[in-house]
C-alpha cells in the first residue's frame, strides 16, 4: 500500500476541477485555505517545527493566493511545515463531506466503547478529549512530539513499545503533517479501535478504512470568512465551534 500522503494527494487531484485558492491564512495555531468555491479547510501549524533561522518562513509569500488547488496539494509532501499545512488545508477544502452529520466528543467516547478494561494510547495531546476518556478507561498514555518534556507526556521514543499494548489508539491528524502517520498506524495494527481525529483530518472514509482506521473524527466548516479571521487572529480548535460542526464517521461495524 502506498504512503498515506501520496494517496491523499492523488485523491485531492481527483477532486480538482479548476478550483483556486482565493485566500490563505497561516496563523499561529492553524493554516486556513478558502477556495473560490467558498469552501474552506484547515490544517494544524506545527509551531515546534518552524525553527528559528529566519523570520521569512515562505519565500514566495504574497504570491500564493490565486494558485490552482492542483498546485497546492503536492505541498503536503514538503518538509516546510507551513507549506505542508497549506497542502493539507487545500485537500480539506476540496473534500465533500456528503451527508455526514454533527456529532460530539461524548458520541466519540461512546462510539469507541471505552471501558475500564481498555488501555488507551493517544498520539497528540488532545486535552479536552483526554479528560473525558480518563473517566472511562483503565489507563491512558499520551505522546506528543511537541511536548516531550512536559509532565504527563510519554516520550515518543516509547511509542513502539507502548502502542502495541493498547486496545484503543487515538491518533491526531497532525501525524499527516509530521510524517509519522504510517509508522504509528503500523504500531497500532493489533488494537480494537483506531481513531483519527482533529480539524486537520480529511473526511475521506474509504482511504482511512482500508488502512484499518475504525473511526474518523473531523470538522465541517460552515463560515469560511469567519474561519479565516479566527485563524488570522491566532485562534485554534476551541474557537472553531461557531464556524464548524464536529463530524464522527464510523468506519467499521
Mean pLDDT over 60-73 rounds to: 86
CATH number at 4-94: 3.30.390.100
Question: Residue 42 and residue 90: Cα distance in Å, rounded?
Answer: 8
Contact present, 168 and 191 (Cβ < 8 Å): yes
Domain with CATH 3.40.50.11590 in the chain: 105-221+242-250
Pairs from 74-80 (Cβ < 8 Å, separation ≥ 24): 74/9, 76/5, 76/8, 76/9, 76/176, 77/5, 77/9
Reported as a single tens digit per residue, the pLDDT across 152-203 is 899 999 999 999 999 999 999 999 999 999 999 999 989 999 999 999 999 9
- CB distance 143 to 154 below 8 Å: yes
Q: For CA atoms 129, 124, 222, 251, give the dihedral sign.
A: negative
- The better pLDDT of the pair 35, 151 is held by 35
Which CATH architecture best describes the domain 105-221+242-250? 3-Layer(aba) Sandwich (3.40)
Q: Which residues are registered as beta bridge partners of 217?
A: 197, 248
| N-to-C CA span, the chain | 23
Tell me the per-residue pLDDT of 211-241, one tens digit each, with 9 for 90 and over.
999 999 999 999 999 999 999 999 999 999 9
Find residue 139's DSSP bridge partners: 119
- C-alpha cell belonging to residue 219: 470538522
The pLDDT tens digits of the residues spanning 34-63 come to 999 999 999 999 987 776 545 556 667 766
Task: Cite the residue boundaries of each domain of the chain with CATH code 3.30.390.100.
Answer: 4-94
- Calpha distance 75→198 (Å, rounded): 20
Amino acid at each position: 500500500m502506498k504512503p498515506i500522503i501520496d494517496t491523499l494527494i492523488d485523491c485531492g487531484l481527483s477532486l480538482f476541477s479548476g478550483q483556486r485558492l482565493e485566500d490563505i491564512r497561516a496563523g499561529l495555531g492553524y493554516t486556513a485555505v478558502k477556495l473560490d468555491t467558498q469552501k474552506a479547510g484547515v490544517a494544524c501549524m506545527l509551531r515546534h517545527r518552524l525553527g528559528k533561522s529566519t523570520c521569512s518562513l515562505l519565500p514566495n509569500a504574497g504570491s500564493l493566493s490565486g494558485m490552482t488547488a492542483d498546485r497546492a496539494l503536492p505541498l503536503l509532501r514538503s518538509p516546510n511545515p507551513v507549506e505542508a499545512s497549506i497542502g493539507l488545508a487545500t485537500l480539506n477544502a476540496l473534500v465533500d463531506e456528503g451527508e455526514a452529520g454533527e456529532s460530539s466528543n461524548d458520541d466519540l467516547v461512546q462510539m469507541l466503547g471505552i471501558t475500564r478494561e481498555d488501555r488507551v494510547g493517544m498520539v497528540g495531546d488532545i486535552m479536552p478529549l483526554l479528560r473525558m476518556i480518563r473517566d472511562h478507561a483503565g489507563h491512558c498514555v499520551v505522546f506528543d512530539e511537541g511536548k516531550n518534556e512536559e509532565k504527563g507526556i510519554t516520550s515518543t521514543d516509547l511509542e513502539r513499545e507502548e502502542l502495541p499494548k493498547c486496545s484503543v489508539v487515538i491518533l491526531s491528524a497532525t501525524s499527516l503533517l509530521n510524517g509519522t502517520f504510517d509508522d504509528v498506524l503500523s504500531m497500532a495494527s493489533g488494537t480494537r479501535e483506531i481513531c483519527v481525529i482533529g480539524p486537520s483530518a480529511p473526511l475521506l472514509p474509504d482511504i482511512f478504512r482500508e488502512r484499518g482506521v475504525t473511526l474518523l473524527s473531523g470538522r465541517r466548516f460552515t463560515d469560511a470568512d469567519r474561519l479565516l479571521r479566527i485563524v488570522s487572529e491566532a485562534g485554534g480548535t476551541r474557537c472553531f465551534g461557531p464556524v464548524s460542526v464536529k463530524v464522527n464517521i464510523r468506519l467499521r461495524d
